[in-house]
Amino acid sequence: MESLPIDRGGLPIMVPKGEFFIFKTTNISSTAANVLKQQMLSIGGECAVSKFVATCSVKESPVILMGTRRHFLRLIESLKNQYFGLGKFREELIEFFEDIKENKVFRVAEKEFDLSKKTIIMGILNVTPDSFSDGGRYLNVNRAIEAALQMEQEGADIIDIGGESTRPGADPISIETEQSRVMPVIEGIQKHSKISLSIDTVKSKVAEEALKNGVSLVNDISGLNFDEEMANIVSKHRASVVLMHIKGNPKNMQENPKYENLVDEILYSLSSSVERALNVGIEKDKILIDPGIGFGKEWKDNYIILRYLKEFKSLGFPILVGPSRKSFIGNLLDLPVQERVEGSLAAVCCAIMNGANIIRVHDVKETVRAAKVADAIVGRV
């Protein structure tokens, strides 16, 4: 509209009429669902409920509301004095429209990443003997440091260092073993570079040692759920955090993972992780969410996640996606780990087109190039 010779004063009135939203919720009483349907229809929106709501022959119903921002603002106003639990529902709607204003900046220590300008690339550095893709490759400290510096030269913005394999079926290791793998590498990288460093761990003691020694980002595959002290440690050090979804744990996560509603369940879990992070004082612009590609999902589930990635924007936080070389690509293409670069790049571009802000990968040089093209298509240049 800004390209048209229109009265600029009319933009605030017209824009809300052109933004369309779909809001889904569950466990609404039939009485409340009836009220919502009538209210939404009366203002020109739409509301889908169970066909049994009209006769109240079911106790509860899922509800899908559809309308422009203007419709929802009018609905929020109309629910001010309603009963049947709709006061709480109104608060959830208000919170939804506040959260949907996605952070455009992600902060790691003193560094600010402008997410409107480019996709952030996180390079993977596994200093483990048994990771699925590069296990054993970087056990030598000097070789690991060289790999990190090479990824920085190729365009990585962040290096994610992991000392414990989280591949399917992996056994946990001790805190001491994990620290002995990652700390020399962390210290060595910092002698040569100022690149932002991330620690990939679920252990608060490992995270704290890393945070005391220059790391500013914790990548927790459990979404703060495996170690009850992790949230407090991240907050204490004013660090940034990646909150990932996982079903189960690395040892058992691929033992027939099933979902009634894949995206809804991941959203609910991530929402709980976000709430925990905010409650202990982790700053909003230091939080990333990750739907957990390959972590407790059947291989076809990962394609559904990428297809509906935009739905995770409803939480109001930047999205990190890590599809690199994973088995959902290998299963589709029937290729071993080292031959999944093209499939990984296709997943990366799809993720960017559907709203991903940060991509975690092994193949940095190729991903930086692909992401630059995808960024140009979505207008991030």
The CATH architecture annotation of domain 105-378 reads Alpha-Beta Barrel (3.20)
Q: Where do the structural domains in the chain lie, given as residue ranges?
A: 8-99, 105-378
Which of these is catalytic: 90, 247, 297, 360? 360
- 8-99 with 105-378: one CATH topology? no
Say whether 181 is catalytic: no
Identify whether 37 is a catalytic site residue.
Answer: no
The Cβ of residue 292 has, within 10 Å, a number of other Cβ atoms equal to: 25
Its CATH class, for the domain covering 8-99, is: alpha beta
Predicted model pTM: 0.86
Give the type of residue at 28: I
The encoded tokens of residue 100 equal 């949907």
Rounded Cα–Cα distance for residues 381 and 377 (Å): 9
CB 122 within 8 A of CB 359: yes
Q: Considering 326, 340, 372, 380, which one is annotated as catalytic?
A: 326
CA distances from 377 to 80, 118, 120, 156, 374 (A): 42, 11, 16, 20, 5
In this prediction, what percent of the chain has a pLDDT beyond 90? 77
Provide the pLDDT for residue 170: 87
Sign, Cα dihedral of 220, 226, 134, 163: positive
* pLDDT at position 134: 57
> What per-residue confidence (pLDDT) applies to 154?
98
Q: For residue 133, what pLDDT is reported?
A: 55
Neighbours of 293 (CB within 10 A): 24
> 3-state DSSP call for residue 218?
strand
User: Which portions of the chain are predicted below pLDDT 50?
Assistant: none
Structure confidence at residue 19 (pLDDT): 80
**Tokens encoding 3:** 């390209």
